[in-house]
Amino acid sequence: MRIESNPENVRAQVREWRKQGLTVGLVPTMGYLHEGHKSLIDRAVKENDRVVVSIFVNPIQFGPTEDLESYPRDLNADSRLVENAGASLIFAPQPEDMYAADFSTYVQVNEVSEQLCGKTRPVHFRGVCTVVSKLFNIVAPDRAYFGQKDAQQLAVIRRMVRDLNFGITIVGCPIVREADGLAKSSRNTYLSPEERKAALCLSRAVRRGEELVDGGETDGDKIIAEMRAVIEQEPLAEIEYVEMVSWDNIQIHHKVDGPILTAMAVRIGKTRLIDNFIRE
């Protein structure tokens, strides 16, 4: 397995694979990999002849008060996980490899990026779409793999790929959870033992929402109210949002009458966590 930081070297390697008639999968990540990331790599390895895993903490998707500098990083541990999972290449650029000093071109996807996390993280999805577009241009994969935990991101990327005719299949993969239900996240490492226990209010709220929808409840406002009530029982939790949206365009929805995403962002202490469920 190779580790490359130079985009042109990655292009050259992919061209060699293409000459051999091989298919290529891409798993974009910000590193500090866990079982959730591994599940994406495992599926990519299963479905493609060669797999590139990008590891890049993308500065332009972080707001000025967010955790860019403190975001956890461990390329050695990441490399072991990626190699053991059977991927072929890690693309681990530095910011200067991706963005020229006078970089001034961004990709903005409207509508699907404006609710949920888009309200409180106004630069986030512009940064995500810009870096993912660059990764798609560098790697030119047949398929790219994204986790459902970042469900709005998955919807935004799918819209971008459709609208800009990338010709890449976007594969959404299920949330991977700890044994007690907490969704796997690199940011879980920020939690103290007390906060880690408190964070279970998110998965409990998800389960309550799923129970209501699967039991036939169609009133979105009632479902959201009961989910919020679960979270509000936890003193360390501060709700940023709990919302039901239509899964196709990520607009606020008040009734279960088609594909829906029910998503939340909750702060446990200083740590912002997200979770969700989808019914299609």
Catalytic sites, residue numbers: 37
Residue 225 sits at the vertex; the CA angle it makes with 224 and 226, to the nearest 5 degrees, is 90
Residue 136 sits at the vertex; the CA angle it makes with 45 and 56, to the nearest 5 degrees, is 80
Edge-to-edge, what's the strand order for the sheet holding 24-29? Answer: 2-4, 89-91, 50-55, 24-29, 143-147, 169-173
Q: Rounded to whole angstroms, what are the CA distances from 156 to 15, 112, 126, 211?
A: 28, 6, 10, 27
279 alpha-carbon distance from chain centroid: 18
Cα distance between residue 78 and residue 208, in whole Å: 34
Q: Indicate the SS3 state at residue 227.
A: helix
Residue 151 sits at the vertex; the CA angle it makes with 201 and 132, to the nearest 5 degrees, is 135
Cα distance between residue 30 and residue 43, in whole Å: 18
Among the listed residues 179, 119, 153, the one whose alpha carbon sits nearest the alpha carbon of residue 29:
153
Q: Indicate the SS3 state at residue 172.
A: strand
